């Protein structure tokens, strides 16, 4: 048994079988990860025997659930190398980036200021900045990619000016699997007084994180890509920045005192968590982090990178296949087959119980830069193994026979 096989934990994931009980080869983890039984059970308990609201009740179960909810915040902070008062629970990375754009951006950006994004960004790290630009008059610069489809940090250095206020980049590309040299990006941004936001959706499930080592200012990720539930995500931000940022939603829980004359707000992170929070989702996220941490993020990164290298090697043998992204992609492989639309490939693969993603992957500017309307994307998780690659290759061979 080789190193790749040793890590596969398919038995822990009830979603990895078909209705008929056959193996389901799930290669769409970059979109959303399957959930281990430990997470499902934790959420079921939180929804059932343990359920109560948090922060308000004086009865025992509410107090216990409050302890569990805040323990989840501390667990997130420990997992990413931050402090619990720097962790804001949001609905997902999309909401986290919108929060930064409209709260920090609304208070700090104005005409003549500049934001830098990159060609490979997910729409969630483009559209919020376009919306705040329309309100504030800020300009957006776009950093190009290198020949092997990484964010070109030499080009970033040339783009930066004293008017640059924000640099917002993907830590790992959701299409290409390319890994950003985040510390260098932080150093470059800070050299002109700009802040750095990292979209960590694809990094958080795949690699060890340390906010101090990365030296970024904001970090966003979603739980559902980290083997946790949908409906909850994390914004980490430096405490000094959160202290200065105004709330962007109003309601219960985020207040200190309310009167019709004026309202004062709670300190961060509560200031940014209006309304009843994601109680059960936070408990399940805690369980997901425990599961991933127990296996070791460094080990997961090596496992998924090994699978990506193996798949790229196999696809390079097929003349009709065009590969995108660097050779050392982080568990994500995007490709196109000459004469076969990615949607057709995805449909045929589904008949073979293989699930991939086909389309523009919420990265239409990147598709334009690559010169394709869409790609096929295989993305690995901690449960993936060589059998999934073999099933994918069989499906591709069948597709090529069908299309001649």
Q: Could you tell me which of 18, 383, 23, 32 has the C-alpha nearest to residue 230? A: 32
Q: Tokens at residue 127, please?
A: 């559209």
Neighbouring residues of 79: CB distance < 8 A, sequence distance ≥ 6: 209, 289, 293
Which residue has 């985040």 as its token pair?
A: 182
Distance CA 354, CA 363 (A): 23
Residues with a catalytic annotation lie at 362
Distance CA 237, CA 95 (A): 14
Q: Around 197, how many Cα atoms within 13 Å sit in the side-chain half-sphere? A: 31
Which residue has 């729409």 as its token pair?
A: 123
Distance CA 338, CA 400 (A): 9
**What one-character-per-residue DSSP string does 177-195 give?**
-PBP-HHHHHHHHHHTT-E
Q: How far is CA 95 from each of CA 106, 209, 240, 345, 385, rounded to the nearest angstrom? A: 15, 21, 20, 32, 33
Query: End-to-end alpha-carbon separation of the chain, Å?
Result: 37
Q: Tokens at residue 211, please?
A: 């906010």
Specify whether the CB–CB gap between 172 and 330 falls below 8 A. Answer: yes
What radius of gyration do the chain's Cα atoms show? 22
3-state SS assignment for residue 166: strand
Looking at residue 1, its pLDDT comes to 32
Neighbouring residues of 178: CB distance < 8 A, sequence distance ≥ 6: 120, 148, 149, 150, 151, 172, 325, 326, 329, 330
Q: Around 47, how many Cα atoms within 13 Å sit in the side-chain half-sphere? A: 9
Looking at residue 57, its pLDDT comes to 79
Q: How many residues does the chain have?
A: 404
Which residue has 């219960």 as its token pair?
A: 252
The per-residue pLDDT for range 92-113, each reduced to its tens digit, is 999 999 999 999 999 999 999 9
Q: Tokens at residue 43, please?
A: 């959420």
3-state SS assignment for residue 379: strand
Looking at residue 2, its pLDDT comes to 47
Domains of the chain, each with CATH number or no CATH: 3-27+296-402 (3.90.1150.10), 41-293 (3.40.640.10)
Looking at residue 8, its pLDDT comes to 63
Distance CA 79, CA 289 (A): 7
3-state SS assignment for residue 355: strand
Across the chain, how many H-helices and E-strands are there? 15, 15
3-state SS assignment for residue 169: strand
Q: Could you tell me which of 139, 142, 147 has the C-alpha nearest to residue 168? A: 142
Q: Write out the E strands in 212-288.
A: 218-222, 233-237, 255-258, 263-265
The per-residue pLDDT for range 1-57, each reduced to its tens digit, is 344 445 668 999 999 999 999 999 999 999 999 999 999 999 999 999 999 999 977
Distance CA 30, CA 174 (A): 6
Query: Block means of pLDDT (10 residues each) for the chain, length 404 residues?
Result: 57 95 97 98 98 90 96 98 97 98 98 98 98 97 97 98 98 98 98 98 97 98 98 98 96 94 96 96 98 94 97 97 96 97 98 97 98 98 96 98 90
3-state SS assignment for residue 250: coil
């Amino acid at each position: 048994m080789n190193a790749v096989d040793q890590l596969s934990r398919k038995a822990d994931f009830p979603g990895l079988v078909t209705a008929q009980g056959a193996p389901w080869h799930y290669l769409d983890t970059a979109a959303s990860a399957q959930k281990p039984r430990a997470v499902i059970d934790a959420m079921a308990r939180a929804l059932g025997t343990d359920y109560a609201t948090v922060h308000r009740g004086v009865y025992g179960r509410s107090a216990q659930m409050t302890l569990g909810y805040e323990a989840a915040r501390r667990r997130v902070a420990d997992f990413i190398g931050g402090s619990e008062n720097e962790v804001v629970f949001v609905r997902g990375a999309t909401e986290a980036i919108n929060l930064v754009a409209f709260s920090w951006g609304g208070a700090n950006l104005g005409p003549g200021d500049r934001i830098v994004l990159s060609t490979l960004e997910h729409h969630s790290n483009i559209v919020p900045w376009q919306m705040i630009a329309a309100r504030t008059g800020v300009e957006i610069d776009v950093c190009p990619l290198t020949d092997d489809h990484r964010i070109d940090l030499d080009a970033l250095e040339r783009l930066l000016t004293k008017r640059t206020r924000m640099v917002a980049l993907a830590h790992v590309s959701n299409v290409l699997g390319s890994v950003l040299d985040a510390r260098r990006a932080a150093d470059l941004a800070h050299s002109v007084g700009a802040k750095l936001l990292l979209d960590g959706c694809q990094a958080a499930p795949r690699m060890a994180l340390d906010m101090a080592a990365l030296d970024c200012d904001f970090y966003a990720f979603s739980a559902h890509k980290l083997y946790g539930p949908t409906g909850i995500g994390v914004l980490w931000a430096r405490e000094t920045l959160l202290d200065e940022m105004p709330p962007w939603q109003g309601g219960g829980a985020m207040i200190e005192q309310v009167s019709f004359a004026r309202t004062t707000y709670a300190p961060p992170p509560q200031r940014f968590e209006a309304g009843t929070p994601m109680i059960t989702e936070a408990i399940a996220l805690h369980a997901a982090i425990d599961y991933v941490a127990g296996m070791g993020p460094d080990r997961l990164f090596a496992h998924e990178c090994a699978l990506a290298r193996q798949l790229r090697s196999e696809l390079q043998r097929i003349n009709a296949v065009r590969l995108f992204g660097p050779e050392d992609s982080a568990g994500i492989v995007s490709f196109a087959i000459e004469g076969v639309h990615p949607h057709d490939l995805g449909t045929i693969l589904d008949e073979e119980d293989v699930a991939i993603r086909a389309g523009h992957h919420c990265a239409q500017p990147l598709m334009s830069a690559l010169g394709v309307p869409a790609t096929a994307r295989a993305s690995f998780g901690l449960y993936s193994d060589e059998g999934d690659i073999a099933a994918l290759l069989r499906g591709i061979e069948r597709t090529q026979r069908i299309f001649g």
